[in-house]
Amino acid sequence: MSSNNNNNVLLTASKEVEVRFSEVDSMSIVWHGAYALYFEDAREAFGAKYTLGYLDIFDKGYYAPLVDLKFCYKKPLRYGTKARIDITYHSTAAAKIVFDYEIFDVDNGLLVVTGSSTQVFLDKQYQLVWATPPFYEAWKQKWGAL
């Protein structure tokens, strides 16, 4: 953890993966849909590190579905490549969870993909929650992410 420009704590995590055969197309380049799974791997690593995993949210009475997912491709990843997905929490006053991502080729350090995701909160009746859930407000206070 380090501090960012808004006096908030910068919450980050990383996950390394090796590109598997099932994730590439006929050109041995990672298929675009696999990046969503890499981002998911990073969100799970973040959740485990900061106690904001899907089961943590569910246990508090909420769901947190994705409502926005963006990718910007810079360079291709190929079969057998080791990649590192860096995830950074983006603090917001709204009742949502926003992350930024960067994926690097571990062997040469090149940035291959950037992206972002936004999740909202639904209650157990699948209704959109407009106000920040109390557990999430407490989580932000605990980690200095207000």
Condensed to tens digits (0 to 9), the pLDDT of residues 82-126 reads 999 999 999 999 999 999 999 999 999 999 999 999 999 999 999
* Mean pLDDT computed over 32-51: 96
Contacts of 146 (CB under 8 A, 6+ apart): 8, 91, 140
Q: Residue 4 has what pLDDT?
A: 47
pLDDT for residue 27 is more than 70: yes
Domain boundaries, the chain: 2-140
- CATH class of this structure's domain 2-140: alpha beta
* Nearest-5° Cα angle at 51, 109 to 40: 45
First to last CA, the chain: 14
pTM of the complete model: 0.91
Question: Could you give the 3-state DSSP secondary structure of residue 99?
Answer: strand
Q: Residue 7 has what pLDDT?
A: 53
